[in-house]
Structures are given as structure tokens and as C-alpha cells.
Amino acid sequence: MPSWMAFDMRLMSERFLTEGMLPEAGDVARLTALLRRPLRSYRDFAAEIATSG
């Protein structure tokens, strides 16, 4: 990958590790409306996939 992309990926990864991925005001409602279902955790998603197969 180009060096500029590696730099951007490193910056994003560092921020995820230090600050997490916290939603801003309105993000949850906006995503719920777009998906037309409640949000779920990755753990819940993985458990559902594991039991459905």
C-alpha cells in the first residue's frame, strides 16, 4: 500500500485503541433509522451467525 495510506491507517488504528469508537449525538438514531432495526453488538452478531449455521 502507498505510504500515505499506511500513515492514515496507523492514525485511525491508534485513535480506535485510545478513544474507542464512541457515537456522537444522533448517530445511534440515524443508524437505527437507516438499518430499520435496533443496533447490536459484534458479540451478539457473532453469536447469531454461529448458531444459524
In tens digits, the chain (53 residues) has pLDDT values of 899 999 999 999 998 889 887 888 999 999 999 999 999 999 999 999 999 87
User: Based on C-alpha coordinates, what's the Rg of the chain?
Assistant: 16
CB 12 within 8 A of CB 20: no
Task: Report the number of distinct structural domains present in the chain.
Answer: 1
Count of alpha carbons within 13 angstroms of residue 21, beta-carbon side: 7
Q: Supply the pTM of this predicted model.
A: 0.50
CB 39 within 8 A of CB 28: yes
pLDDT at 22: 80
Q: Which domain holds residue 10?
A: 3-52
pLDDT at 20: 82
